[in-house]
Amino acid sequence: MSDFGDDIKEAIEEVGTAITLEKESQVISGEYIVTKLNKQVTKPFIREFFVEAEFAYDSLSTVGDIVQIDVTGEHFILMNKTPALFENDVYLHSAVLYKANVSGEILRSSGETWENPEVHKQSTYEVVASDCYALITEPLFGGGVEEDEELGEIGLARNELYIPERYGILEGDRYRAISGEYYKVNAIKLRRFPGVLVCELSEDYR
C-alpha cells in the first residue's frame, strides 16, 4: 500500500469513531470509522437507520459484521463495503451501515409436547443462535399479501427483518426479541444483500 492509504487511515483514526467488529467467531477492536450524513435525510427510514461510513484500507470488516460504536454502545449491520481505488491501490472502503434496533434469539421447532392437562399440543423450540442483532422495520416497498399465503396469516402486522446470514435463520423459525416480542419467519429474500438476509415476519402465536 502506498503512503496515501496510510495517510487516510491516520486521518480516520484522528477524527473518526472507535468501533468494535463482532464477527462469527471473534471480536476485533482498535478500528475506526468516519460517518457522514446521507443526502436523502428527508426520508424517515434513511434518517433513522441508514449511515454511510468510511473504513481504513486495511480494515478487517466484512459484509454481515456487527459494528459497535464504542462510545455509544449502538450496534449496526455492515450492509455494503466498496473499495475506493487510487493508482491501482485501495486507499479506503466506503460502506453502508443499518442501525440494529433489536437483538434476540433464533428459535427452531423441535417437535410438540402435550400440555397438562392433556387438552392440546404445544410446540417446543430450541435455541439456534443468541445475541442476534438485527433491524426490524415495516416493508420499504410493496407489502401485499402473497397468493399462496395461509388464510390464518392474513391481517397480521407485517415487518421485515434485516439480519446477518451467518446467524443461520431459516423459514419457519421464531425470532424472539429481548424486548419480549415473538416473530415468525414466513419468507426469506436471499439475494437483496450479500451476507445479509431480509426476512418477512408476522407475529408468532404458535
- Residues 39 and 121 both lie in one domain: no
Strand partners, 188: 199
Residues 36, 48: one domain?
Answer: yes
pLDDT at site 82 = 96
Same domain, 43 and 111: no
Residue 10: its pLDDT value, please? 95
- Residues 110 and 70 reside in one and the same domain: no
Spatial separation of the C-alpha atoms in residues 146 and 203, rounded to whole Å: 16
- Write out the H or E segment, with its range, that includes residue 182: strand 182-193
Does residue 138 share a domain with residue 159? yes
What integer pLDDT is reported at residue 87 of this predicted model? 85
Domain of 199 in residue numbering reads as 102-203
Residues 200 and 149: their CA atoms lie apart, in Å, by 12
pLDDT in the model for residue 157 = 46
Where is the domain boundary, 60, 80, 99?
Answer: 99
Domain count, the chain: 2
pTM of the model: 0.83
Q: What is the pLDDT of residue 206?
A: 77
pLDDT for residue 41: 59
Report, in angstroms and rounded to the nearest whole number, the Rg of the chain calculated over CA atoms: 20
Q: Which of 54, 77, 99 is the last residue of a domain?
A: 99
What per-residue confidence (pLDDT) applies to 117?
A: 55
CATH number at residue 165: 2.40.10
3-class state of residue 47 by DSSP? helix
pLDDT at residue 120, as a whole number: 60
Q: Which residues of the chain have pLDDT under 70?
A: 1-2, 37-45, 111-121, 139-157
